[in-house]
Amino acid sequence: MATTRPGQPIHLILDFDGTLTALSTWGLFGRLAKARDTRQYLEQHPRQMDEMQIDEGHGSHDGVANGESDEPMSEENESDENESDENESDEPMAEETESEESESEGTESEESEPEASEFDGHPLWRDLIIAYSNDHLAHSVRHYPVVAQMKGEGERATPEQYVTWLDSLHSLEYGCAERISESGFFKGVKLEDITTVVKDALDRGDLKMCKGWNTLFEMGMPTGSSDQPPIISKLSIISVCWSRLFIWKSLYMAAERLTHLGLSDKATLLDYISSIEIYGNEIEGLNSPLGSTGMMTGTVRTTREKANHMPAYSGGRAATTEKRQDQTTPLVFYAGGRATDYLCLQLADFPIFCEAETIDKYYRGFHEIFRPLCSDGWIWYDVRRWADKVDRGEAPRAWCAHINGLLKLAKWLKEETRGMMRKDGGLRYSE
């Protein structure tokens, strides 16, 4: 499989939580009930508007009800291209070396356990999150796929055992969705309540997009020229997030705060964000005049269900070798950083494990998530080195490439399309 071929379109697919966002958004859903209650009160008592102070779990927050905002996040107001990239070198990582075994202990969730901030917003939310956490712990004790070893020898599981573990979480995730539906926690919530929570979270920094997110999206914007098509021919999101509308609002409102774009380009970016495919779940009835029914809908809650939305032309699903030689067929790049991304990474033409934190935290994150698969040593491939091996027809001793953040991914994709083609149709990569 060639890394790419001249003129072949690129279909970039991204995870949302932890890939496009720097922080987990799980806790923000707990604030929707408070936003709903505040809105309903103000609808019934309009004269109280000026006296309202919205508290989303971090103390009073004057002015939000009146449309005022705190200082905007500086990172959202500058182009990601122009930000300093200290501690992040574009040089490929050192020659592949075997990684050390993870020192972390215990069982690994398909998602991280909730942090204290995820209890914000409503007492019932705390009960729901604690119930999920307890269920997950009990489930992990029974099903986590680790072959018993002597202390210090690490944990081992085959890829098949690991997928069986991920599949076993189906009942857990749907049980959580059913518990939330039955609680009525989201009943009456409207899209405008999501807008309130997203705006407030952006103001406070509780919702922060990863550096480089907007650069990737701008690389997919229509250029208006058939001679110069966008670098990314298609961009999609596949996420286990509970609401597609929440994902869209988060991206849209973050883009509204960008200051490096002119009015025309920003309008084009906002239209582009509104047009991208988002595969995920939803809170039923957010656009209803009466608000949500409170029911959790959707069938994208596990790694296998995410994989079901990978395009049929992705490498893992291509019917024949000849089909991959068709230069009009998009090459599928998938970037994610969670256990729920495992099968999507397996199916992509170019699988990329990506996080936005520092290299050390990023490195530990991979090993904490895929610990049972890494106990015998892991060959660490920078995205350039992984691509170079594949381009030469060699099989990397790894099932995905690694890159430290979306900004580096954007730079690498730009580099790939800036006349770096060899005569044989391959790619050159700087060493």
Amino acid at 319: A
Question: What is the CATH architecture of 10-52+103-416?
Answer: 3-Layer(aba) Sandwich (3.40)
Higher pLDDT, 106 or 211: 211
- Residues contacting 409, CB < 8 A, separation 6+: 212, 216, 335, 352, 354, 383, 403
pLDDT of the residue at 362: 40
Q: Residue count of the chain, please give it.
A: 431
Q: Quote the pLDDT of residue 154.
A: 60
55-82 confidence digits (pLDDT tens): 444 444 444 333 344 444 444 444 554 5
Position 33 pLDDT exceeds 70: yes
Q: Is it the case that residue 174 has pLDDT exceeding 50?
A: yes
> What is residue 7's predicted lDDT score, i.e. its pLDDT?
64
Query: What is the Cα–Cα distance from 140 to 259, expressed in whole angstroms?
Result: 46
Q: What is the pLDDT of residue 145?
A: 76
What are the structural domain ranges in the chain? Answer: 10-52+103-416
pLDDT at 132: 93
The pLDDT, as a whole number, for residue 263 is 95
* Mean pLDDT, all residues of the chain: 77
Give the pTM.
Answer: 0.80
pLDDT band at 52 (very low <50, low <70, confident <90, very high): low
Structure tokens belonging to residue 413: 């994709």
Tokens 């595969």 belong to which residue?
A: 279
pLDDT at residue 16 is higher than 50: yes
Report how far residue 358's alpha carbon sits from residue 87's, in angstroms, rounded to the nearest whole number.
8
Mean local confidence (pLDDT), 149-168: 76
* Under 8 Å between Cβ of 403 and 386: no
CA atoms within 13 A on the CB side of 336: 28
State how far the Cα of 352 lies from the Cα of 362, in Å rounded to an integer: 13
Q: Residue 178 — very low, low, confident or very high, per pLDDT cuts 50/70/90? A: very high
Average pLDDT for 164-187 = 96
pLDDT tens digit sequence for 366-380: 777 887 887 655 667
Q: Residue 85 has which token pair?
A: 């990239």
pLDDT tens digits along 340-353: 999 999 999 889 99
How are strands ordered across the β-sheet holding 331-336? Answer: 277-279, 234-238, 10-14, 331-336, 350-354, 401-403
In the chain, helix, strand, coil percent, each to 5?
A: 40, 10, 50
Tokens (6 digits) for 267:
């309008």
Q: What integer pLDDT is reported at residue 319 of this predicted model?
A: 47
| SS3 (DSSP) at 32 | helix
Instruction: Report the share of the chain in percent with pLDDT over 90.
Output: 48
Per-residue pLDDT tens over the stretch 315-365: 765 544 444 566 778 889 999 999 999 999 999 988 999 875 544 444 457
Residue 115 has pLDDT above 50, yes or no: no
What token pair was written down for 427? 């790619």
pLDDT at 231 over 80: yes
pLDDT of residue 120: 58
- For every residue of 8-71, DSSP letters joined together read --EEEEE-STTTTBSS--GGGGGGHHHHHHHHHHHHH-GGGGGG----SSSS--TTGGGT---P
pLDDT band per the 50, 70, 90 thresholds, residue 314: confident
Rounded to 10 deg, the angle between the 123-143 and 170-183 helix axes is 160
The Cα 41–Cα 78 span in angstroms is 37
